[in-house]
Structure 1
Amino acid sequence: MTAANRISESYVIPPELSDRRLDQAAATLMPEHSRSRLQSWIKSGALTVNGEVRKPRDKVMLDDRLELDAEPEVQVTWEAESISLDIVYEDEHLIVINKPAGLVVHPAAGHAAGTLVNAILHHAPEVENLPRAGIVHRLDKDTSGVMVVARSLIAHTSLVNQLQTRTMGREYEAVIVGTLTGGGTVDAPIGRHPRERKKMAVVADGKPAVTHYRLIERFEAHTHVRCKLESGRTHQIRVHMAHIKHPLVGDPVYCGRVRLPKAATAELRDVLSKFHRQALHARKLTLVHPESGEEMSWETDLPEDMVRLLDVLRRHRDELAQSDF
């Protein structure tokens, strides 16, 4: 096969992965590949360290170079399903999707069908030859917005590299509990919650995570913010905003009970009590096209439920302001 039809990737071991097992370090650096696949590549010599074949349990050290050169294999056994997709852009390398809230990205226990992957396999069957069917990053089930799927090996390699080097721009909009006076940055490591294994948390031994946020609009007891990620940890924005005591409206995991502001109107009480997902939308995605090298950007409108939430918050704020006169 030509080089263009192979999976060719290169990584350098950073300080936080020094003295870790090779298979563990590889899993951290290449999360788009399954652990079993990575172990198979290590044992076959497709994944080397400084040009040498190692065992999965061997330790790697700072600045060791991992080189992956492997032939693609059919990675998935999931069924293609005719599911409607809101495609923002597509060509032979990329598919950019506006994902609705409620759509699971990847098949897993409890969600073996009806996912974005099932839909992509129907729309572009060739992705079955790519790791994780071309999925290089995810949005939570109940997060809406723009995301990109690789359609070719060239694109897959490029997008993974852009994510690893943090050159892919991802901006989100959220509605949070409480009022902010300005923007800021949360720089706090994220890992698995020490007691509740289905949750993530800010923990000392977590992976580095940085979220920048800025104020868009302030309401009586809520704030509309835009967040920009430097990293891409699981539940990152949800965890970071909860960490600074401003959880996302409707977040069933990190927000807790519904918080109603004083003098809330019946309309506001209704919309807040019925908002059963995190108020989070992936608004903008910027990347370098894997073939042309051109910087490309896509932005998607807020979904109807967030638009209504903001409208009601705005009316409540304005009504209170008028009553003060």
Structure 2
Amino acid sequence: MNPFQTLTAEIPVALAGLRLDQALSEIFPDFSRGRLQTWIKSGAAKVDGAVLPPKHRILGGEYVVLQAEVEPDTAVVGQDIPLEIVHEDDDILIIDKPAGLVVHPAAGHSDGTLQNALLHHAPELAGIPRCGIVHRIDKDTSGLLMVAKTLAAHNALVGQLQEHSVQREYLALAQGAMTAGGTVDAPIGRHPRDRKRYAVRNDGKPAVTHYRVAERFPRHTLLRVQLETGRTHQIRVHMSHIDYPLVGDPVYGGRPRLPPGAGPHLIACLQEFKRQALHAEILGIVHPATGEYCEWQSPLPDDFAGLLDVLRAG
């Protein structure tokens, strides 16, 4: 594999006034600021054809060409873990992730992750930042995830995420009876007391979630949710913030809300659903190589579908 790949981008006007290294860290978030500074100083990053110092203040609208040298990630090893591959070609992989599978190794999950599985399936992904994973979904959320197989594809997909042009639609079962859909536009940051949680807070990062009603039940609502941004736990935090937390959410869900006159089977199903009822159903992107719009859809997993059947039966 060629360790050098050319990445290109136009610096958004919104980044005007930042230092060049700061702007590039926003555009290419999978590379550290130190690595980007090294590339800038060595002439590997050119702005409108010129080599500029890291401290140069950008105006916005400049065209950047970056000759990126990526070292293989040897910290994560491949493991023979089954993958549900929805689509694969020379540039991208689309994975249907089951609930319970962690995406990246982290404290408490050093192996047995999607990243380990991807490296076993395609060892060349070691040369791509985060082994090609450009976005993630929570461990106990199921559904579609995209993976880049080349640096160029990685750059293109990250760009689409930053431009909010990726189509991501989730099915979510919320507690409470909603009368209509809406939008939650509320910044999200770390919870002030619990670092493992997130919360709506004024100094958080911008976060926008759109939702519409798909099906109503006496004390629950099935929602179709679209993300405009992609903050950690965004749907879960936003739905809890407006007092419609997701069924089964162990962190933001609170106590189960039982329908009036619910039978023992329904009560048991709601109490025993121990993960957030959230499924990444639809994923749509512009293919980084062909330029064509592509879209995939994932069926609901059995546990989520079964819970809906019980709710429909009353």
Distance in 2 between residues matched to 1:66 and 1:207, nearest whole Å: 26
Please tell me the root mean square deviation across aligned C-alpha atoms, in Å. 2.5
Say if 1:35 and 1:193 are closer, same or farther in 2 by CA, change over 3 A.
Answer: farther
* Residue of 130, 144, 163 corresponding to 1:165: 163
Alignment partner, residue 71 of structure 2 = 74
Q: For structure 1, which runs of at least 5 residues remain unmatched after alignment? A: 317-325
Q: How big is the shift at 1:243?
A: 1.2
Deviates more, 1:21-30 or 1:154-163: 21-30
Alignment partner, residue 63 of structure 1 = 60
Alignment partner, residue 286 of structure 1 = 284
Superposed CA offset, 1:52-100 (max 9, x none): 5444xx4856627483513332341210111100000111111110000
Give SS of 1:119's match: helix
Distance in 2 between residues matched to 1:234 and 1:217, nearest whole Å: 26
Give SS of 1:6's match: strand
Say if 1:59 and 1:199 are closer, same or farther in 2 by CA, change over 3 A.
Answer: farther
Alignment partner, residue 227 of structure 2 = 229
Q: How big is the shift at 1:233?
A: 1.2
Q: Which amino acid aligns with 2:11?
A: V
Q: Which amino acid aligns with 2:293?
A: E
User: Is 1:135 matched up with 2:149?
Assistant: no
Alignment partner, residue 88 of structure 2 = 90
Say if 1:125 and 1:193 are closer, same or farther in 2 by CA, change over 3 A.
Answer: same
Q: For structure 2, which runs of at least 5 residues remain unmatched after alignment? A: none
Q: Which amino acid aligns with 2:83?
A: L
Give SS of 2:125's match: helix
Q: Which amino acid aligns with 1:76?
A: D
Q: Which amino acid aligns with 2:70?
A: E
Counterparts of 1:102-251 in structure 2, within 5 Å, are 102-251=100-249
Distance in 2 between residues matched to 1:262 and 1:60, nearest whole Å: 62
Say if 1:37 and 1:109 are closer, same or farther in 2 by CA, change over 3 A.
Answer: farther
Distance in 1 between residues matched to 2:197 and 2:23, nearest whole Å: 23
Counterparts of 1:291-306 in structure 2, within 5 Å, are 291-306=289-304
Distance in 2 between residues matched to 1:68 and 1:199, nearest whole Å: 38
Q: How big is the shift at 1:28?
A: 4.2
Q: Which amino acid aligns with 2:134?
A: V
Distance in 1 between residues matched to 2:263 and 2:156, nearest whole Å: 50
Distance in 2 between residues matched to 1:42 and 1:273, nearest whole Å: 55
Distance in 1 between residues matched to 2:249 and 2:43, nearest whole Å: 44
Distance in 2 between residues matched to 1:230 and 1:278, nearest whole Å: 20
TM-score (norm 2): 0.90
Distance in 1 between residues matched to 2:129 and 2:136, nearest whole Å: 14
Q: Percent of pairs identical after alignment?
A: 54
